[in-house]
Each structure stands twice: as structure tokens, then as C-alpha cells.
Chain A
Amino acid sequence: MDFTLTEEQRIIQHTARALFTRECPLALVKSAWEYPEVALPLWQDHLREWLALSEQSLADTTLFMQEYGRALVPGVFFSSLLAAYVASTVEATLSGAATVAVAGLNGYWTPNEETTRYFVPSAAQVQEVVVVSGSPQAPRVAIAAAAQVSMAEMEQLDRLRPLYSVDVKGIDRGRDISPQAWQQVVHRALVTVAAELVGVGRYLLDSAVAYAKVRQQFGRPIGSFQGLQWKLVDSALELERAAAAVSYAAMCVDAAVAEAPYAVHSAKLEAGGAARRCARTSLQVHGGIGYTWEHGLHYWLRRAYAGDAFMGPSDFHAQRLADLLFAA
């Protein structure tokens, strides 16, 4: 496996980082909590065109999503990217911002016939809802106008990525897709979420390390204390391991190798675990200041946990991985 970035991949990484540094400051993140519409110009002026990533290699997408998670970019890009993955299975082009409705109350992306779907990201901010129904053996994809479905916001940890319950009764039957095509979409979506989580973890860790260097107690920087150093090292280790797992999974999916499902579940479980660990460490290292609403660290902490839960938490993916390992 060759982790060397191509020139184009390096450009994706740099462009994304520069874009979010410029266009997505902490102030935007903070105000998006109350007013999601403040993120609209960023979507319209920049992010909409990045949806082309859905047709590029997953490796490219993971590089972008790590920067996206690091900056905790609010808005409809994430749900639209997932929607584009699903829409491509029926050769549909989405006209604008979109989202995906699959999961029932357990949150897993298993095709089903429930009339209410939960954990639908950004549903009230988008124009189209891609609905997946049927069963894992016979999935179907339908596309509905968001204005024609009723929905309700779920009460949740992470309002920067609001989740909705959506009533899909009365939506047309849609088109059949192959179970393999659906599997491919699930893999892409899981690695995309995992890449974002690595970015979230990266912000949490970097901010903790930076703070530990400047915060003085007992006449010296707190980052000189071994107890705190080891906590940061162990979090960094878990994060680097997750970052490698995510890139590896992307390469496996891109190459369509038999190991892909193993690598995908591994990536999601590593990334969710690493982001959560970095969140706890970062809050602990920041001490009282990080516990204030005003500081803003909690937005990333919320995403670490909500992102881990999205499409099933670490434990769920560990069990899917176990199923694969013990079926062989």
C-alpha cells in the first residue's frame, strides 16, 4: 500500500484547509448553532462545487473530509455528499442540497419499510430527500422533494448537524438497485464519516497540545507535566492509528478488494473511538475554560460523539467486523 499523496491530492488538502481557515472561523461555527442559515453562503459560493468529489476516488474525499471535520464546517455539504453517493446508484443528478433517509430508530443504514426514518441529517435545510427502502437483499432508491415530506427535528447533542425524523409515507416506490451497489454506498458513506471524525479528533488534539504549551500553573506550562503528556500521547497515538485506518479503507474501497468490508468497519470504529478519546482528553487538558459554552470546544466534543453514533457506534461496527472474522 502506498500512502504517498499525488500532486492533485496535495492540492485538495491545501485548498480545503485554506478555504476553511478563511471562510469558516469559530464565529461562524458558533452562530450556526442558533442560525443554520449563516452557513448558506459558504455552501453556495464554495462547497456546492466540491460535491464533484462524490465521483472521484474515495481517497480524495477522505482528504477533504478530514479538513472539513477539523473546521467543523456547518451546513448541508455533508448530507448532500452522502445523498450524491446514493443518487449515483440510480443515475440521478440532484438539483441542489439534499439528504438521505434510511435508518429506523436504531440508526443503522439497513434498508427497511418503516414509514418514519430517523437520523436524517439537515433535512429541513435541503431541497431533496433520497429515500432508501426495501430490504438489504432488495434495496430501492426514491427521490422526493423535501417540501413534500413532513419532518421533525430530533432533540440531540449536536445541533450543528441537526438530525430529523422524516415521514416517508406516500413517497413513490423508487427504483430497485443491487445489494452490491447499496453495499458500495454504505462503504463510501462510512469512510466519509470516519474521515470527518479524524479531522474532528485532530482539532481537539491540536488545540489541547497548543493550550498545554501556553497555560501556566505552578510556575510552568502544564504541558511539562508527565501525567498530562502521556494522556496527550495516548490520544495522539489512537488518532494516528485511526487516520491510517481511514486512508487504508479508502484505498481498499477504491481498489474494490475483498478486504474492503473489513477495512471499512475497522475505519469507522477506529475513527469514532479516536475522536471520542481526543474529545475527553482535550476537555480535561483545557480544564475549566473548556467547560464553558463560550470557549466553543464543546461543539467539537459533541460532533465526536454524534459522529461516532452516526450509522452505528463503534460497538456496532466491532460486532459487524466480528461477524466477518468468524464467518470465514
Chain B
Amino acid sequence: MKLAFSAADEAFKEELLTFLAQHCPPQARTTRDMIGSDDVDANGVMVIPQWAREWQATLFDHGWMIPSYPPELGGRAATPTQTLLYLEALAQRGICRSLHFGGYAIVAPSLLEFGNAQQKFLAPAAIRGDTVWCIGMSEPGAGSDLAALTTRADDHGEHFIVNGQKVWTSYAMVAAKCFCYVRTDRDAPKHRGISLLIIDMDTPGVEVRPLRHITGQAEFAEVFFNNVKVPRENLVGELHGGWRITMGALAHERGGLWVEGVAGCLRAVDDIIKMIVRLGLQHDASITNRVARLYSQSRSLRAMGWKGFASFAQGSSAAEHSYMKVAMSELQQTLYELGMDLQGAGLALTDPALAQEGGRWQTAFFNALAATIGGGTSEIQRNVIAQQVLGLPRA
């Protein structure tokens, strides 16, 4: 156990910081309290601006998009430790790599693991951001119980015919392709009748309706499939073998997210301290004591993430990482809520002239409310930890 990293790792970080200084556009440095885009059109619907497309391509071309991958996949064969240093360096500076994590974080790794030669060929463009992907998972009747999905794909030999509806589909309005989970066997047990299809979003019968969420923005959508014809070669992995891939996809999503979440918590604590001083509340021990505890939790979660990483890097599963999502997402909500509470009656205001920092605490709090729901609810996470980490019997 030691604080310092090896000389090679420090040199790696130095090279990254030089690259960022030279290439990172100012827009990519906007602090984001959650993954998502501030760039919306007049109707509040998410768009991907040109700078974001260019930035993601630049990262890829310089081997800084996914450092652990080889150069042809936008990386530089970095070690796991270097990858974590990379993620933390970006997160601490509030730099985002991409406005649409689905392609590089979920689709590409899944294609590389489960896809055939033709499909693997789609991975570089997904990572570089040239192809924007959405992930068709949740449905009106299949949220936490994802395996209950009913969007059906009927097997017609050379092609499938897809009918059904997805919801909470991030980036669907800007995506070219959908990584779509469908039911191919309605008689099999629910986990064994699911397949994964690649669906081009411009196929006739695909309809996207942006879904405004409680902040007023729309980065999600509902996607309707009405007799959509999908060629058989778009099947990923085995027929009825899609569930295995969903588990992998969620694992990719969780593996990389704690660093950004923790950095967000630490930034929020720093900003809360500044606000307290600005408001002249720094001598109120009931407030400073609370902030100190939240600081302590945030710093300790960072240590917990790194501690889990030490086991992870040696090939063991890390109990610590199972706890990260639930801990971080709940801590974020607490922090942003405190940021609102400090404003007294002003907590109800979003008027840029009257609210602290233009009302960003209110927006951040609303955004953070999604964090305990998306990507596995806190309740599901607790059930999983109880059974898989503590080894308690199923309910």
C-alpha cells in the first residue's frame, strides 16, 4: 500500500496532461454533473454539436479515447492503473470524452466480445463517435425486470420482423444504429428467449419520439418498431443468447462510471464550501460539521474505488465496486440538496439573477435524481449486493 505511482505511470499522466492542454476544446471542459448534453435544440431535444464530434475523433486518433485498447481502436495499450489515472484526470477537470457513452462504452466492447468478424468491424466507428448508437433495453413493462421485455422479432429466415416499443432510450434521436434487445422465443423461460439485433434507425417502421424528462430536457426517447425488417446478419451472438450480452453491457457501464461520479461529488463539496463562505455561514457548526462528513464520505468513496481497483487489477472481483454506484448516486443527491438548502427560501428559485450560481444546484439536484434509477435502481443494487457479495439467500 502506497500513495505514489510508478515512474512509467507518472510519465503516462504527464503525456495525457500535455495532450489535453493542446487539444481539449473549452466546451469539453464544462463541468457536467451527469453524463449528458447541455446542447439542445429549440425544443429542448438533445443534439450533438460539431465540437463534440471533432473532440471524440481527436481523442481516438491520438490513442486517448479508450487508452487500454490498441491504437486501431483508439487506445495505446495502457495498463489498468494507467486507465484509472486517465479517467480520474479527465473527471477531476470535468472533461467529457463523448456526449454519447453508449457506443464506446457498451456497444463496442460487446461487439468485440460477442460479434462476428463483420460486426467487430463496426467497433472503431462506435468508439470514434462516427457512428452514434443507442441502446434498446428498457420498455414500458421492462424496467428493473429487464428480462420481461416484449419487443418481438419474428424469425423469417433471411430476416427478422420487429414489433414493439422501447423507452428511456438515450440518444435515440441522434443515433444511426440501435443495439436492440428483442424477444425471439416467447415460449422459453424469459432469460432464454432474448436476442440482440443491430437495427439501422433509418429502417422503415422505426419511429422516435423524444421524451422530455423532469429537468425539461429531452435526451431520452421512446422508440417504436412497426414491422421493421432486420437482415439476419444483424443478429449479434447466438439466437436466443442475448441475455448473456446484456449482463456484459451493464458491467461495462458500471466499470467506468465510479470515477466520474466520485469526482462529481468532490467538486460539489468544494463548491458547497465556497458557497458557505460566500453566504457567511462558515461559523455555523451545524452546517460545517455536515459538510465535513460529506467531504469525508466523498474522499473515502474515492479511496474505496481505488481499493476495489487493486483487487480488480489482480483479476479478483471487487466487493468495493459493487457498493460504488449506490453510494455515489445517493451521496450526489444529498450534496445537491444541501446546495439548495443553503439558499434558504431561495431553494425554490431558478432565476439566474437570484439563485446561487444561476440555479445550477437545482438543475444538478434534478439531474441527480436519475442516478438512483438509471443503470440499475438503488433497490436492485442492494438486492444484488445482498445476494452476490454477502451471500444471503434470495427472497
Report which A residues bind B (CB closer than 8 A): 1-6, 9, 57, 59, 209, 212-213, 220-221, 223-226, 229-230, 232-234, 236-237, 240-245, 247-248, 250-252, 254-255, 257, 262-263, 265-266, 269-270, 315, 318-319, 321-322, 325-326
Contact = CB atoms under 8 A, between A and B. Distances in A.
Contacts of A220: 393
30 contacts: A2-B310, A3-B303, A3-B310, A4-B313, A213-B392, A213-B393, A221-B393, A224-B394, A226-B386, A229-B395, A234-B382, A237-B327, A240-B323, A241-B300, A241-B323, A243-B307, A244-B304, A244-B306, A247-B1, A247-B303, A254-B3, A265-B296, A266-B299, A266-B300, A269-B296, A322-B285, A322-B288, A322-B292, A325-B292, A326-B288
A219 to B, nearest CB: 12
B391 A209 contact: yes
A229 B296 contact: no
Contact of B4 (A226, A245, A255, A262): A255
Interface string B363-395: 000000000000000000011011101111111
B303 A245 contact: yes
Most buried by B among A3, A234, A243, A270: A3
Given A1-B306, A237-B323, A319-B289, A232 B392 contact: yes
A241 B3 contact: no
A258 to B, nearest CB: 12
Given A2-B310, A226-B383, A315-B289, A321 B1 contact: no
Chain A interface mostly: helix
Contacts of B304: 240-241, 243-245
Contacts of B307: 3, 243-244, 247
Contact of A245 (B277, B282, B300): B300
A325 B297 CA distance: 14
B258 to A, nearest CB: 12
Interface string B266-295: 000000010011000010010011011101
A224 B300 CA distance: 30
A319 B288 contact: yes
Interface residues of B, number: 47
Contacts of A265: 292, 296
Given A2-B1, A251-B3, A229 B291 contact: no
B13 to A, nearest CB: 13
A273 to B, nearest CB: 8
Most buried by A among B273, B277, B300, B392: B300
B279 to A, nearest CB: 13
Nearest to A223: B392
Most buried by B among A213, A225, A257, A326: A326
A221 B291 CA distance: 40
Contacts of A252: 3
Contact of B303 (A212, A233, A244, A269): A244
B289 A4 contact: no
Interface of B: 1-5, 81, 273, 276-277, 282, 285, 288-289, 291-293, 295-297, 299-301, 303-304, 306-307, 309-310, 313-314, 319-320, 323, 326-327, 382-383, 385-387, 389-395
B385 A236 contact: yes
Nearest to B277: A326
A2 B288 CA distance: 31
A162 to B, nearest CB: 31
B390 A232 contact: yes
A226 to B, nearest CB: 5
Contacts of B296: 245, 265-266, 269-270, 318, 321
Contact of A236 (B282, B288, B300, B323): B323
A16 to B, nearest CB: 16
Contacts of B390: 209, 229, 232-233, 236
A325 B273 contact: yes
A241 B393 contact: no
Given A243-B307, A245-B296, A226 B395 contact: yes
A269 B273 contact: no
B292 A255 contact: no
Given A223-B392, A322-B285, A233 B3 contact: no
A225 B393 CA distance: 9
A93 to B, nearest CB: 28
A247 B389 CA distance: 21
Contacts of A234: 382
A240 B391 contact: no
